[in-house]
Structure formats: structure tokens, C-alpha cells
């Protein structure tokens, strides 16, 4: 296995299998409605601004990385949900 396939994103991709589809319509629609809470989006905005200014503390850097990981997982789930809906419509 190469190093890219052992990253959290690579592992999540193999678990979620975004290209597979196959989820029920209701489940897919529910997943597509998932989103970060307003307070989380605001926190991410603050952290990104601090990162651009190179002013992140170590704990903030970890926090931002956790948001990025959660966002990637949500992206993978939504990709599979969209494919599932396309399959259901076909």
C-alpha cells in the first residue's frame, strides 16, 4: 500500500466508497442536507484567517486539521449520496 492510501482521507474513501452509490433515496437526501453548524463555519473562518497570517497556535492548527478531516469525510459521503440519487433516477 502506498502512503496516500494510508492517510485518513484514503482510508475513509475506501470505507465510504463514494463512487459506488447504492444508498436509498431517503438516506442520500438526508446526507446531502448535512452541513457544518454556523458556529463551526465561523470558527473555521477565524482559523483560516489566522493560518493565512501565520498566527495559529499548535492547538488551533490541530483544530483546523480536524475540521478539514471532517469536511473531507462529509464530501465523500455527499459524493456517494449524489451518485445514489443519480442511480435511483435512472
- Write out the residue range of the structural domain in which residue 49 sits: 3-89
User: What is the domain count for the chain?
Assistant: 1
Q: What is the mean pLDDT of residues 63-69?
A: 95
Whose cell is 490541530? That residue is 62
Question: What distance in Å separates the CA atoms of residue 81 and residue 30, rounded to the nearest whole number?
Answer: 9
Q: Is the pTM of this model over 0.95?
A: no
Q: H or E element: which one contains 79?
A: helix 58-89
Count the residues in the chain: 90
Q: What is the pLDDT of residues 3-37, one digit of tens each?
A: 667 888 889 899 999 999 999 999 999 999 999 99
pLDDT band at 53 (very low <50, low <70, confident <90, very high): very high
Amino acid at each position: 500500500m502506498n502512503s496516500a492510501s494510508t492517510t485518513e482521507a484514503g482510508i475513509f474513501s475506501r470505507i465510504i466508497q463514494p463512487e459506488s452509490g447504492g444508498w436509498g433515496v431517503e438516506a442520500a437526501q438526508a446526507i446531502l442536507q448535512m452541513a457544518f453548524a454556523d458556529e463551526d463555519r465561523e470558527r473555521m473562518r477565524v482559523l483560516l484567517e489566522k493560518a493565512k497570517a501565520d498566527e495559529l497556535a499548535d492547538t488551533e492548527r490541530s483544530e483546523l486539521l480536524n475540521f478539514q478531516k471532517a469536511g473531507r469525510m462529509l464530501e465523500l459521503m455527499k459524493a456517494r449520496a449524489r451518485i445514489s440519487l443519480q442511480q435511483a433516477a435512472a
